[in-house]
Protein backbone atom coordinates (compact mmCIF):
# COMPACT_ATOMS: atom_id res chain seq x y z
CA UNK A 1 0.00 0.00 0.00
CA UNK A 2 1.05 3.58 -0.59
CA UNK A 3 1.72 5.58 2.57
CA UNK A 4 -0.53 8.57 3.02
CA UNK A 5 2.50 10.76 3.55
CA UNK A 6 3.22 10.46 -0.20
CA UNK A 7 0.03 12.32 -0.96
CA UNK A 8 0.60 14.80 1.82
CA UNK A 9 3.99 15.41 0.24
CA UNK A 10 2.51 15.97 -3.15
CA UNK A 11 0.02 18.39 -1.63
CA UNK A 12 2.75 20.18 0.31
CA UNK A 13 4.97 20.40 -2.74
CA UNK A 14 2.13 21.89 -4.78
CA UNK A 15 1.82 24.71 -2.25
CA UNK A 16 5.29 25.90 -3.20
CA UNK A 17 4.65 25.47 -6.92
CA UNK A 18 6.11 21.98 -7.39
CA UNK A 19 3.64 19.64 -9.08
CA UNK A 20 4.55 15.95 -8.82
CA UNK A 21 2.66 13.57 -11.12
CA UNK A 22 2.68 10.61 -8.79
CA UNK A 23 4.04 9.27 -5.55
CA UNK A 24 6.72 7.18 -7.31
CA UNK A 25 8.24 10.39 -8.67
CA UNK A 26 8.34 11.84 -5.20
CA UNK A 27 10.49 8.88 -4.21
CA UNK A 28 12.73 9.23 -7.30
CA UNK A 29 13.12 12.91 -6.58
CA UNK A 30 14.34 12.12 -3.07
CA UNK A 31 17.11 10.01 -4.65
CA UNK A 32 18.24 12.55 -7.25
CA UNK A 33 22.05 12.56 -7.44
CA UNK A 34 22.65 13.69 -11.01
CA UNK A 35 20.94 16.80 -12.34
CA UNK A 36 21.12 17.58 -16.05
CA UNK A 37 20.01 20.98 -17.31
CA UNK A 38 19.07 22.35 -20.66
CA UNK A 39 20.69 25.79 -21.06
CA UNK A 40 18.39 28.19 -22.84
CA UNK A 41 15.43 29.26 -20.75
CA UNK A 42 16.43 26.93 -17.91
CA UNK A 43 19.76 28.27 -16.61
CA UNK A 44 19.63 31.37 -18.79
CA UNK A 45 16.75 33.78 -19.08
CA UNK A 46 16.05 32.77 -22.66
CA UNK A 47 15.49 36.40 -23.51
CA UNK A 48 17.97 37.12 -26.27
CA UNK A 49 18.89 40.65 -27.27
CA UNK A 50 20.30 41.59 -30.64
CA UNK A 51 23.74 43.11 -30.11
CA UNK A 52 25.38 43.02 -33.47
CA UNK A 53 24.54 42.70 -37.13
CA UNK A 54 27.08 41.87 -39.81
CA UNK A 55 26.13 41.63 -43.42
CA UNK A 56 27.66 41.35 -46.82
CA UNK A 57 25.70 43.82 -48.92
CA UNK A 58 22.27 43.99 -47.46
CA UNK A 59 21.05 46.74 -45.12
CA UNK A 60 20.87 45.80 -41.42
CA UNK A 61 17.14 46.42 -41.25
CA UNK A 62 16.52 44.22 -44.26
CA UNK A 63 18.56 41.37 -42.81
CA UNK A 64 16.61 41.51 -39.54
CA UNK A 65 13.33 41.76 -41.44
CA UNK A 66 13.99 38.61 -43.48
CA UNK A 67 15.14 36.70 -40.42
CA UNK A 68 12.18 37.84 -38.31
CA UNK A 69 9.68 36.94 -41.02
CA UNK A 70 11.25 33.53 -41.57
CA UNK A 71 11.05 32.98 -37.79
CA UNK A 72 7.51 34.31 -37.49
CA UNK A 73 5.95 30.95 -36.65
CA UNK A 74 8.59 29.84 -34.15
CA UNK A 75 8.11 30.01 -30.39
CA UNK A 76 11.87 29.74 -29.76
CA UNK A 77 13.40 32.54 -27.64
CA UNK A 78 15.70 33.37 -30.58
CA UNK A 79 12.67 33.96 -32.77
CA UNK A 80 11.12 36.24 -30.15
CA UNK A 81 14.31 38.33 -30.01
CA UNK A 82 14.26 38.78 -33.78
CA UNK A 83 10.59 39.79 -33.73
CA UNK A 84 11.42 42.42 -31.09
CA UNK A 85 14.38 43.71 -33.07
CA UNK A 86 12.16 43.99 -36.16
CA UNK A 87 9.66 45.92 -34.06
CA UNK A 88 6.88 46.05 -36.64
CA UNK A 89 3.72 44.11 -37.20
CA UNK A 90 4.51 40.85 -38.99
CA UNK A 91 2.80 40.48 -42.33
CA UNK A 92 2.47 36.72 -42.34
CA UNK A 93 1.07 36.71 -45.87
CA UNK A 94 4.66 37.36 -47.06
CA UNK A 95 5.84 34.06 -45.58
CA UNK A 96 5.22 30.49 -46.64
CA UNK A 97 6.76 27.02 -46.46
CA UNK A 98 8.05 27.53 -42.94
CA UNK A 99 10.15 24.69 -41.55
CA UNK A 100 11.67 24.70 -38.10
CA UNK A 101 14.63 22.41 -37.58
CA UNK A 102 15.07 21.81 -33.84
CA UNK A 103 18.55 22.75 -32.62
CA UNK A 104 19.41 24.32 -35.99
CA UNK A 105 17.04 27.11 -37.00
CA UNK A 106 14.37 27.74 -39.62
CA UNK A 107 13.87 27.93 -43.36
CA UNK A 108 10.97 29.71 -45.10
CA UNK A 109 10.01 31.51 -48.25
CA UNK A 110 9.76 35.28 -47.69
CA UNK A 111 8.61 37.55 -50.55
CA UNK A 112 9.38 34.68 -52.91
CA UNK A 113 12.96 34.27 -51.62
CA UNK A 114 14.18 31.22 -49.77
CA UNK A 115 15.48 32.33 -46.38
CA UNK A 116 17.45 30.24 -43.90
CA UNK A 117 18.17 31.54 -40.39
CA UNK A 118 20.09 29.51 -37.86
CA UNK A 119 23.42 28.29 -36.59
CA UNK A 120 26.61 26.92 -38.19
CA UNK A 121 25.05 23.47 -38.44
CA UNK A 122 22.10 24.79 -40.43
CA UNK A 123 24.43 26.43 -42.94
CA UNK A 124 26.44 23.20 -43.16
CA UNK A 125 23.30 21.15 -43.76
CA UNK A 126 22.31 23.51 -46.56
CA UNK A 127 25.83 23.60 -47.98
CA UNK A 128 26.09 27.37 -47.61
CA UNK A 129 29.57 28.72 -46.81
CA UNK A 130 29.33 31.05 -43.80
CA UNK A 131 31.59 33.43 -42.03
CA UNK A 132 32.81 31.83 -38.85
CA UNK A 133 32.45 34.33 -36.10
CA UNK A 134 34.16 34.68 -32.76
CA UNK A 135 32.07 37.30 -31.05
CA UNK A 136 30.60 36.50 -27.67
CA UNK A 137 27.02 35.45 -28.17
CA UNK A 138 24.79 33.19 -30.16
CA UNK A 139 25.01 33.62 -33.91
CA UNK A 140 22.05 33.54 -36.27
CA UNK A 141 23.34 33.22 -39.82
CA UNK A 142 21.01 34.39 -42.56
CA UNK A 143 21.13 33.09 -46.12
CA UNK A 144 18.87 34.25 -48.92
CA UNK A 145 18.34 32.13 -52.02
CA UNK A 146 21.30 29.98 -51.05
CA UNK A 147 23.68 32.94 -50.70
CA UNK A 148 25.16 33.97 -47.40
CA UNK A 149 23.69 37.36 -46.44
CA UNK A 150 25.20 37.93 -43.00
CA UNK A 151 24.64 37.16 -39.36
CA UNK A 152 22.96 38.58 -36.31
CA UNK A 153 24.67 38.30 -32.93
CA UNK A 154 22.30 37.82 -30.03
CA UNK A 155 22.94 37.10 -26.40
CA UNK A 156 21.19 35.87 -23.36
CA UNK A 157 21.92 36.26 -19.65
CA UNK A 158 22.12 33.66 -16.91
CA UNK A 159 19.25 33.80 -14.45
CA UNK A 160 20.11 35.60 -11.24
CA UNK A 161 19.62 32.47 -9.10
CA UNK A 162 21.23 29.86 -11.38
CA UNK A 163 24.60 29.80 -9.63
CA UNK A 164 23.02 29.63 -6.21
CA UNK A 165 20.73 26.84 -7.47
CA UNK A 166 23.73 24.72 -8.54
CA UNK A 167 25.32 25.24 -5.10
CA UNK A 168 22.05 24.33 -3.36
CA UNK A 169 21.88 21.07 -5.32
CA UNK A 170 25.45 20.22 -4.34
CA UNK A 171 24.65 20.78 -0.68
CA UNK A 172 21.58 18.58 -1.10
CA UNK A 173 23.83 15.68 -2.14
CA UNK A 174 23.70 16.01 -5.91
CA UNK A 175 27.20 14.94 -6.95
CA UNK A 176 27.03 15.70 -10.64
CA UNK A 177 25.55 18.68 -12.47
CA UNK A 178 25.56 18.67 -16.25
CA UNK A 179 24.51 21.26 -18.83
CA UNK A 180 23.37 20.27 -22.32
CA UNK A 181 22.89 22.77 -25.11
CA UNK A 182 22.47 23.10 -28.82
CA UNK A 183 24.34 26.36 -28.65
CA UNK A 184 27.97 26.86 -29.68
CA UNK A 185 30.86 25.56 -27.59
CA UNK A 186 32.13 29.04 -26.78
CA UNK A 187 28.81 30.22 -25.34
CA UNK A 188 28.29 26.93 -23.49
CA UNK A 189 31.75 26.97 -21.91
CA UNK A 190 31.27 30.52 -20.70
CA UNK A 191 27.92 29.80 -19.04
CA UNK A 192 29.18 26.53 -17.51
CA UNK A 193 32.23 28.23 -16.01
CA UNK A 194 30.19 31.07 -14.61
CA UNK A 195 27.73 28.68 -12.95
CA UNK A 196 30.28 26.03 -11.92
CA UNK A 197 28.43 23.10 -13.46
CA UNK A 198 30.56 19.95 -13.50
CA UNK A 199 30.13 18.93 -17.13
CA UNK A 200 29.00 20.63 -20.30
CA UNK A 201 28.10 19.31 -23.75
CA UNK A 202 27.39 21.73 -26.60
CA UNK A 203 26.20 21.74 -30.21
CA UNK A 204 23.69 19.03 -29.49
CA UNK A 205 20.59 18.38 -31.53
CA UNK A 206 17.50 17.34 -29.57
CA UNK A 207 18.25 13.67 -30.37
CA UNK A 208 21.87 14.07 -29.16
CA UNK A 209 20.54 15.27 -25.81
CA UNK A 210 18.56 12.03 -25.45
CA UNK A 211 21.73 10.08 -26.27
CA UNK A 212 23.79 12.02 -23.66
CA UNK A 213 21.16 11.36 -21.01
CA UNK A 214 21.21 7.66 -21.91
CA UNK A 215 25.00 7.60 -21.50
CA UNK A 216 24.72 9.25 -18.10
CA UNK A 217 21.93 6.83 -17.07
CA UNK A 218 24.11 3.87 -18.05
CA UNK A 219 26.90 5.11 -15.76
CA UNK A 220 24.80 5.69 -12.65
CA UNK A 221 25.33 3.62 -9.58
CA UNK A 222 22.97 1.94 -7.16
CA UNK A 223 19.70 3.69 -6.49
CA UNK A 224 20.79 7.11 -7.56
CA UNK A 225 18.43 8.90 -9.89
CA UNK A 226 19.01 11.29 -12.76
CA UNK A 227 16.82 14.35 -13.17
CA UNK A 228 16.63 16.39 -16.37
CA UNK A 229 15.37 19.96 -16.19
CA UNK A 230 14.20 21.77 -19.32
CA UNK A 231 11.88 24.51 -20.48
CA UNK A 232 10.22 22.17 -22.92
CA UNK A 233 11.19 23.77 -26.22
CA UNK A 234 12.48 20.76 -28.20
CA UNK A 235 13.21 18.72 -25.10
CA UNK A 236 10.10 16.60 -24.49
CA UNK A 237 11.94 13.39 -25.55
CA UNK A 238 14.70 14.08 -23.00
CA UNK A 239 12.16 14.82 -20.27
CA UNK A 240 10.58 11.46 -21.00
CA UNK A 241 13.89 9.56 -20.96
CA UNK A 242 15.29 10.81 -17.63
CA UNK A 243 14.42 9.06 -14.35
CA UNK A 244 12.75 12.34 -13.40
CA UNK A 245 11.77 14.80 -16.10
CA UNK A 246 11.30 18.27 -14.67
CA UNK A 247 9.55 20.88 -16.84
CA UNK A 248 10.27 24.40 -15.76
CA UNK A 249 7.79 27.25 -16.03
CA UNK A 250 4.13 26.37 -16.21
CA UNK A 251 4.02 28.34 -19.45
CA UNK A 252 6.08 25.59 -21.08
CA UNK A 253 4.66 23.68 -24.01
CA UNK A 254 1.86 21.15 -23.52
CA UNK A 255 4.17 18.49 -24.92
CA UNK A 256 6.65 19.20 -22.13
CA UNK A 257 4.02 19.09 -19.40
CA UNK A 258 2.79 15.82 -20.88
CA UNK A 259 6.29 14.30 -20.94
CA UNK A 260 7.36 15.62 -17.54
CA UNK A 261 7.09 13.88 -14.18
CA UNK A 262 7.46 17.08 -12.20
CA UNK A 263 6.33 20.54 -13.24
CA UNK A 264 7.75 23.64 -11.62
CA UNK A 265 5.25 26.48 -11.74
CA UNK A 266 7.83 29.21 -11.98
CA UNK A 267 11.12 29.31 -13.79
CA UNK A 268 13.42 29.83 -10.81
CA UNK A 269 16.08 27.06 -10.81
CA UNK A 270 16.20 27.24 -6.97
CA UNK A 271 12.90 25.34 -7.09
CA UNK A 272 14.78 22.14 -8.03
CA UNK A 273 16.70 21.84 -4.76
CA UNK A 274 13.54 22.85 -2.95
CA UNK A 275 11.62 20.03 -4.66
CA UNK A 276 14.29 17.48 -3.67
CA UNK A 277 14.24 18.65 -0.06
CA UNK A 278 10.45 18.54 0.14
CA UNK A 279 10.42 15.01 -1.29
CA UNK A 280 12.88 13.82 1.35
CA UNK A 281 11.06 15.57 4.12
CA UNK A 282 7.75 13.98 3.32
CA UNK A 283 9.32 10.55 2.93
CA UNK A 284 10.94 11.00 6.30
CA UNK A 285 14.47 10.95 4.88
CA UNK A 286 17.00 12.92 6.85
CA UNK A 287 19.84 13.97 4.65
Among ligand ADP, Mg ion, none, what binds residue 275 when CB lies within 5 to 8 Å by partner kind? none
Binding of ligand ADP at residue 119 (CB under 6 A)? yes
Burial (0-12, 13-18, 19+ Cβ within 10 Å), 234:
buried
Q: Which of residues 217-246 bind ligand ADP (CB under 6 A)?
A: 233-234
Give least dist CB 59 to ligand ADP, A.
20
- Restricted to residues 176-235, the positions that interact with Mg ion (CB under 5 A) are 233
Residues 226 to 245: which contact Mg ion by CB under 5 A?
A: 233
Between the two ends of the chain, the Cα-to-Cα distance in Å is: 25
To ligand ADP, the closest distance from the beta carbon of 181 in angstroms equals: 4
Contacts of Mg ion in 13-52 (CB under 5 A): 38, 40
Q: Does 156 bind ligand ADP (CB under 6 A)?
A: no
Which position among 150, 182, 252, 269 is part of the footprint of ligand ADP (CB under 6 A)? Answer: 182
* Residue 181 touching ligand ADP (CB under 6 A): yes
Select 9 or 105, whichever has its Cβ closest to ligand ADP: 105
- Binding mask 20-39 vs ligand ADP (x if CB under 6 A, - otherwise)? ------------------xx
Q: Which residues are near Mg ion by CB under 5 A?
A: 38, 40, 233
Amino acid sequence: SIPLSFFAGIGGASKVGVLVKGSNYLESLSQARIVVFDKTGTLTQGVFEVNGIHHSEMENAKLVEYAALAESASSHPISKSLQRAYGKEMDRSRVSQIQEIGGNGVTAVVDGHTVAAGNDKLMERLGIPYISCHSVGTIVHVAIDGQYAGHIVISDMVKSTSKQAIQALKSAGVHKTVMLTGDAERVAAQVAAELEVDQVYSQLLPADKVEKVEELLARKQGKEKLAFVGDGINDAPVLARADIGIAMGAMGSDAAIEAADVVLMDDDPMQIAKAIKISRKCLGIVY
